[in-house]
Amino acid sequence: MIELGTKWIDYLKNKPESGMGYQIVSIVLRNGIRYDQVVVDSGYITKIKGITVISFTDEDILEIIVTHDKWDFGTD
């Protein structure tokens, strides 16, 4: 899990939820890598589809895009 800083929490709290208490987003890192289908729950990145280890930090994030692109969380 990655805790998001105040900048991102403030940004996301003004966006609609994808489900109860969470948002599905895409994350673009400063190095150009993009992760789609990322779960943000209560200010934390909790899951990325197809990824078991989250290898970046809050400081690496350039952009967060709320997509609501859900998947069966039990499969990844």
Report CA torsion sign: 28, 64, 66, 40.
positive
The pLDDT value recorded for residue 75 is 64
Looking at the chain, the whole-number percentage of residues with pLDDT higher than 70 is 95
- Euclidean distance between the first and the last CA atom of the chain, given in angstroms as a whole number: 15
> How confident is the model over 3-38, as pLDDT tens digits?
999 999 999 999 999 999 999 999 999 999 999 999
Q: Residue 40, exposed/middle/buried by CB under 10 A (0-12, 13-18, 19+)? A: buried
pTM: 0.89
The pLDDT value recorded for residue 24 is 97
